């Protein structure tokens, strides 16, 4: 059995809603993970970063107050410290993220997710 398609979703985000609509148009009912309420674990987030081929800051919303307040632009912070900060402050995680077929895509723009379906 194949893994279900998952979307790390924030219903208040227009790009996240658009990505969910795109999935629906493809006949896909993904597992919806409201990551602000149920953040990924550090291991899950690390796995997502590997699937995206991203470094942690590439998946961070650098304009959020928490980014500045926590000093996350400090180049001395390790990968593990940055991942821990995102898990502790899920608002920092860029959205939406779709996982499908062992791959991951960030839906910015939402059409990016179509590349992994």
CA distance 34 to 69: 24
Contact indicator for 35, 93 with CB cutoff of 8 Å = yes
Which of 50, 26, 59 lies closest to 5, judged by CA?
26
The question of whether 13 is a catalytic residue gets the answer: yes
Give whole-number Cα distances, 81 to 43, 49, 54, 94, in Å. Answer: 13, 14, 15, 17
Local structure of 73: helix, strand or coil: coil
The catalytically annotated residue of 1, 4, 11, 13 is 13
Total count of residues recorded for the chain: 117
**Residues involved in catalysis:** 13
């Amino acid at each position: 059995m194949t893994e279900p398609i998952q979307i790390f979703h924030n219903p208040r985000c227009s790009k996240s809603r658009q990505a969910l609509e795109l999935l629906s148009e493809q006949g896909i009912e993904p597992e919806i993970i409201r990551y602000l309420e149920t953040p990924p674990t550090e291991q899950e987030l690390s796995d997502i970063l590997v699937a995206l081929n991203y470094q942690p800051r590439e998946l961070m919303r650098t304009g959020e107050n928490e980014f500045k307040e926590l000093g996350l632009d400090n180049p001395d912070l390790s990968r593990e410290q940055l991942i821990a900060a995102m898990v502790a402050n899920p608002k920092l995680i860029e959205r939406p993220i779709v996982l499908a077929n062992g791959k991951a895509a960030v839906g910015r723009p939402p059409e990016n997710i179509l590349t992994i379906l």
